[in-house]
């Protein structure tokens, strides 16, 4: 059986490959759309027609959802459900009884039932990319208002959808922030649910370290802590912490691949 922490690490690597491909596909749609604005003397025309056309920028994201984002979300949903099953099996192997409804709870939590994405659920909303839609639309409006040169219009849109070297695009960062974390957080959530039902008191901060591991994880990985420790962690602050969300669900914070491994009571 795959260790839950290893599963999280492997899944993040797989998701990165998926996001890189989506980024390429998204950029193709963006470039095609930007090429449809009216220009004069190699500059965007500051005219009502271009502003009206800018209001159709959502069509880029709608097409992305239809052609490749939706498929990615189904893939992500299946990875989360598989992680849930793995978490239950791992706890059972250590003598911790599952409740029996864990998979249904996670399906409801992420809006993914019978392999289908539920409208207005977590996965569906993730695929709508609301913040990116807004940034893209605002960028176009500002470019029209300044009669930006076409070459700059295309070039300056790149940070939204094209990663260069170690600098990730806004698109990539969006999915790194929300999609990647959803796997570990779903697994930690179901672990906590089972731990609460079994009145477990201690857990291992499990997983390995990577070159970019935050100091909190370096200091705590591989150690056993109590629920009182977890309450203390909720009150502390560190780089990358997700404020206002239970440590037992989000662990080290954004992009953290560590796993809360509950232990049987002695």
pLDDT tens for 229-252 read 999 999 999 999 999 999 999 999
| Alpha carbons 129 and 132: distance in angstroms, whole number | 5
pTM over 0.85: yes
Please state the rounded mean pLDDT for residues 30-54.
97
- Residue 127 and residue 112 in contact, taking contact as beta carbons nearer than 8 Å: no
- Tokens coding 87: 């978490």
Domain parsing of the chain, residue ranges: 4-199
Q: Is the pLDDT of residue 99 over 90?
A: no
Please state the rounded mean pLDDT for residues 191-215.
94
| Mean pLDDT, rounded, of the chain | 95
| Alpha carbons 49 and 38: distance in angstroms, whole number | 8
Please state the rounded mean pLDDT for residues 52-61.
98
Strand, coil or helix: 21: helix
Q: What is the pLDDT of residue 1?
A: 65
Q: What is the pLDDT of residue 142?
A: 98
Q: Where are the alpha helices (H) located in the chain, listed in sequence order? A: 4-34, 48-54, 58-64, 70-93, 102-110, 122-128, 130-145, 150-155, 158-161, 170-175, 181-197, 215-220, 227-235, 247-250
What strands, in cross-sheet order, belong to the sheet with 202-206?
224-226, 202-206, 259-262
Residue 226 bridge partners (DSSP): 202
Query: What tens digit of pLDDT does each residue of 114-173 get?
Result: 999 999 999 999 999 999 999 999 999 999 999 999 999 999 999 999 999 889 999 999
């Amino acid at each position: 059986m795959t260790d839950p922490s290893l599963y999280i690490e492997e899944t993040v690597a797989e998701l990165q490959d998926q996001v890189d491909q989506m980024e390429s596909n998204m950029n193709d749609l963006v470039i095609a759309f930007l090429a449809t604005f009216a220009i004069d003397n190699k500059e965007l025309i500051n005219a009502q027609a271009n502003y009206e056309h800018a209001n159709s920028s959502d069509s880029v994201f709608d097409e992305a959802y239809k052609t490749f984002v939706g498929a990615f979300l189904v893939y992500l949903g299946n990875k989360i459900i598989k992680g849930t099953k793995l978490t239950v099996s791992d706890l059972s192997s250590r003598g911790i009884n599952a409740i029996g409804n864990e998979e249904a709870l996670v399906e409801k939590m992420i809006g993914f039932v019978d392999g289908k994405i539920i409208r207005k659920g977590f996965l569906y909303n993730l695929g709508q990319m609301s913040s990116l839609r807004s940034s893209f639309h605002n960028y176009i409006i500002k470019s029209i208002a300044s009669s930006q040169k076409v070459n700059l219009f295309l070039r300056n849109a790149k940070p939204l959808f094209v990663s260069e070297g170690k600098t990730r695009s806004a698109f990539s960062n969006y999915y790194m922030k929300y999609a990647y974390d959803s796997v570990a957080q779903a697994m930690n959530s179901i672990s906590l649910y089972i731990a609460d039902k079994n009145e477990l008191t201690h857990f291992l901060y499990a997983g390995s370290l990577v070159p970019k591991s935050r100091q909190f994880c370096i200091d705590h990985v591989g150690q056993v802590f109590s629920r009182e420790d977890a309450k203390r962690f909720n009150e502390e602050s560190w780089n990358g912490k997700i404020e206002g969300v239970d440590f037992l669900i989000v662990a080290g914070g954004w992009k953290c691949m560590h796993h809360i491994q509950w232990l049987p009571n002695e």
